[in-house]
Structure 1
């Protein structure tokens, strides 16, 4: 078996209905360590940013001026591995309940891009990818699950 030539980076953000620590999002906040732990044992998981256990400020919650905006980013071996984690299992259950904790009319979204194995994106790189997707739309360089480029067109990082 040959080593992978690329991994999939994933960055997502959303605006909570209330700041971290508010009782309205307690169920969500308390589930984060458990869901992250499951991610780390999921097939295809490579890496994730931080450890969102309290105090949240140590790992970047909040990462932005608005303390309700939180973000997550991770690396996966394949799009299929990430998709299975996001939409199934423990995370899938919380994803289906996102309207309880996240303001659906506020900033939110995600972006995917290819990285070389071993590369760990920082928040600056992640936001550059968000800006590129927003300004130019999906391409081989940045995309979402809906616009996942075919494998043949993504060989070049």
Structure 2
């Protein structure tokens, strides 16, 4: 078996309906460690950033001035592995209930991009991919599941 040429990086963010310590967010907040544990045990999982809401000073992103905004980023072997985790199992069950905890009219979204195996993106890289997707649209450098760029044609990292 040959080593993968690329891994898939994922960054997502959403705005909670209330602060994370508010009772209406309790079910979601209490499930995060369990769901993260299941992610780490999922087929195709490679790595995830351990802090669910990077501090604004690290992120350099005004979005994080709002304490209701949380984010996560991770690395997966394939898009199929990430999709299976996101849309099925325990994460899928919580994803289907996202309107209970997340403000659907507030900042939210995700971006995907290819990375070399072993690479661990920081928040600056993740933000640059969000910006690239927002300003230039989907490309080999930043995309979504709907416009998945092939790993083999992703060119320079």
TM-score (norm 1): 0.91
Q: Tell whether the 8 Å contact from 2:51 to 2:72 is kept in structure 1 after alignment.
A: no
Partner SS, residue 75 of structure 2: strand
Unpaired stretches in structure 2, ≥5 consecutive residues: none
Q: Tell whether the 8 Å contact from 1:61 to 1:67 is kept in structure 2 after alignment.
A: no
CA displacement at 1:156 relative to structure 2: 4.2
How far apart in 2 are the matches of 1:130 and 1:51? Answer: 18
Aligned to 1:95: 95
How far apart in 2 are the matches of 1:75 and 1:136? Answer: 23
Aligned length: 151
TM-score (norm 2): 0.91
Partner SS, residue 74 of structure 1: strand
Aligned to 1:44: 44
Unpaired stretches in structure 1, ≥5 consecutive residues: 53-58
CA displacement at 1:60 relative to structure 2: 2.7
How far apart in 1 are the matches of 2:55 and 2:47? Answer: 18
Partner SS, residue 86 of structure 1: helix
Partner SS, residue 103 of structure 1: coil
How far apart in 2 are the matches of 1:102 and 1:151? Answer: 32
